[in-house]
Amino acid sequence: MNNMKILFFSLITYGLVQTFLSDTVFAQGDNTQIPFTIVIHGGAGTITKESMTAEKEEAYRAKLTEALNAGYAILESGGSSIDAITLAITIMEDSPLFNAGKGAVFTSEGKNELDASIMEGKSRMAGAVAGITNIKNPILAAKAVMEKSQHVLLTGKGAEIFAEQHGLEVVDPEYFYTERRYKSLERAKQMENEEGSFIINNHTDSKFGTVGALALDKYGNLAAGTSTGGMTNKKYGRVGDSPVIGAGTFADNNSCAVSATGHGEYFIRYVVSYDVAARMIYLNETVKQAAETVVNSKLKEVGGSGGVIALDNDGNIAMPFNTSGMYRGFKKQGKKAKVYIYKD
């Protein structure tokens, strides 16, 4: 009997020691069981190889790769998923290639009105801004709303004042001017005058250049973020899906993180980002099944164009789109960055 007692207590002690060691390793950020990953997109739309010069394609691939590697470096060093996606998105916001930040499209009044949102999967805290005109990096403003306010969404002048009070870089609205985007506005206005009706410009990717990023860090935490300039020639203070939690952005450690790009009105009405997560939770679908169904069945059937990137809590990725192309890429633990543009 004494031998049995000794064996019993030895087993319990061994188990407690192993648990302690496991928890200690995890706390130190050395847990190799979490496949830390970053996924990004730079917008979906009419993007074909025929319409792309070799120089332009290389520029997109280089900038997407730069954003991926920068965000991945944070994850690799034990940083958070929130910090990883924030850095990746600011890199894309600072580039005139995308319809976000520096490359934002113009409203019908000839202004650049920027939207962004961010969400963390552990607590489901979120922050967003809409209709801002002088904050260099809208994703940083969204992050500040999440971390430094009691609110989720701030708009217009109030969002700008809040961002400035919290030390974010303020720029002259002229900073966002690019010749390429202004010509897109001129084309849209010309079509509007000729047809006598309100026209949203459908020229190549002019409304689909939204950027977004997702990450899963070493601690198993998901995060999602999205930033955009909206639609060329938009009117009436229009706000799309990008700053709307559950439509353009969503993250929950129990399911997945999602960032969307496309015709925002459809993504709002069909609550696209949350729908992907909900299908995983309530229908037990994989992240790929859920994202494919939402984008290529539900959205497509009602005329909604665009795509999403999705990342689950096991590091599985989905990047479906129902347009001719979507700037996208990912980098998994210990792997090289992979970047795609067309349906390949």
- Tell me the per-residue pLDDT of 134-143, one tens digit each, with 9 for 90 and over: 999 999 999 9
Q: Do both 89 and 15 map to the same domain?
A: no
pLDDT in tens, 23-55: 433 333 444 578 999 999 999 998 888 889 999
- What are the φ and ψ backbone dihedral angles of 226, each rounded to 5 degrees? -145, 145
Give catalytic residues, as residue numbers.
Answer: 210
Q: Do residues 330 and 339 touch, judged by C-beta distance below 8 A?
A: no
Q: Do both 22 and 99 map to the same domain?
A: no
Quick one: which of 272, 267, 280, 282 has its CA closest to 313?
A: 280
- Rounding to the nearest 10 degrees, give the CA dihedral for residues 278, 311, 97, 62: -170
Burial of 194 (0-12, 13-18, 19+ CB in 10 A): exposed
Domain count, the chain: 2
Q: What pLDDT was estimated at residue 205?
A: 41
Q: What pLDDT was estimated at residue 196?
A: 56
Q: Over pLDDT 90: what percentage of the chain? A: 82
Q: Do residues 118 and 127 touch, judged by C-beta distance below 8 A?
A: yes
pTM across the whole model: 0.89
Taking residues 305-316, report their average pLDDT. Answer: 97
Q: Do both 11 and 132 map to the same domain?
A: no
Q: Do both 8 and 101 map to the same domain?
A: no
Q: Do both 19 and 93 map to the same domain?
A: no
Taking residues 294-307, report their average pLDDT. Answer: 96
Torsional sign, CA 290, 278, 214, 238: positive
Q: Do both 175 and 130 map to the same domain?
A: yes
CATH number of the domain within which 115 lies:
3.60.20.30
Q: Do both 63 and 200 map to the same domain?
A: yes
Taking residues 301-315, report their average pLDDT. Answer: 97
Given pLDDT bands bounded at 50, 70 and 90, which one contains residue 195?
low
* Lookup: tokens for 238: 């229009």
Instruction: Give the CA radius of gyration of the chain.
Output: 22
Q: Do both 236 and 187 map to the same domain?
A: yes
Mean pLDDT of the chain: 89
Q: What pLDDT was estimated at residue 30?
A: 46
Q: Do both 186 and 276 map to the same domain?
A: yes
Q: Do both 4 and 68 map to the same domain?
A: no
* Per-residue buried b or exposed e for 74-107, using 16+ beta carbons within 10 Å of the residue's own CB: bbbeebbbbbbbbbbbbbbbbbbbbbbbbbbbbb
DSSP for residue 135: B
Q: Over pLDDT 70: what percentage of the chain? A: 87
Provide the domain limits for residue 24.
Answer: 1-30
Query: Between helices 81-93 and 54-76, what is the axis angle to 10°?
Result: 160
- H or E element at residue 20: helix 2-27
Q: Do both 133 and 237 map to the same domain?
A: yes
pLDDT at position 218 over 60: yes
Taking residues 70-86, report their average pLDDT. Answer: 98
Q: Do both 41 and 26 map to the same domain?
A: no
Neighbours of 258 (CB within 10 A): 35
Calpha distance 124→121 (Å, rounded): 5
